[in-house]
């Protein structure tokens, strides 16, 4: 688990009970997106960066070809409410709590929302 002091936003992948890859950035340094602040990376581009430095070798070969073969999601901050949302494809409460702690999000200001966009693609 990373040690952090400030809440962050960004993308993440969750695999075998851990956050395998993530691109957190402190909220103040994040990308303004309407009434929200989000991370600087998207999943597809960050996946390509992970591949270029050999990080995808942590995964079985069948899971390396596409970024959407393992659970993933995004943390956003809502400027209008001062709340955080962890967008995900259907993780369990215990798993979401690990993500909340990884991104240093206050429990009382964090919401969880399933998003079809982050649902696993069953092409394997």
Q: What is the pLDDT of residue 121?
A: 67
Q: What is the pLDDT of residues 53-104, one digit of tens each?
A: 999 999 999 999 999 999 999 999 999 999 999 999 999 999 999 999 999 9
Find, among 22, 30, 16, 68, the residue nearest to 49 by Cα: 22
Q: In whole angstroms, give the CA distance from residue 49 to residue 11.
A: 13
Report the first-to-last Cα separation within the chain, whole angstroms: 30
Full-model pTM: 0.92
Please give the backbone phi and psi of residue 29, each rounded to the nearest 5 degrees, phi first.
-105, 0
Q: What is the pLDDT of residue 4?
A: 76
Q: What is the pLDDT of residue 122?
A: 62
Q: What is the pLDDT of residues 28-44, one digit of tens each?
A: 999 999 999 999 999 99
Find, among 76, 93, 72, the residue nearest to 8 by Cα: 76
């Amino acid at each position: 688990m990373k040690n952090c002091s400030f809440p962050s936003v960004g993308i993440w992948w969750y695999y075998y009970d851990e956050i395998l890859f993530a691109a957190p950035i402190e909220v103040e340094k994040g990308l303004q997106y309407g009434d929200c602040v989000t991370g600087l990376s998207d999943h597809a581009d960050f996946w390509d960066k992970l591949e270029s430095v050999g990080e995808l070798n942590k995964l079985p070969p069948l899971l390396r070809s596409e970024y959407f073969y393992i659970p993933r999601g995004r943390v956003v901050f809502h400027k209008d409410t001062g709340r955080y949302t962890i967008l995900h494809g259907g993780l369990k409460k215990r798993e979401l709590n690990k993500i909340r702690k990884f991104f240093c999000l206050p429990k009382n200001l964090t919401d969880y929302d399933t998003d079809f966009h982050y649902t696993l693609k069953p092409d394997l």
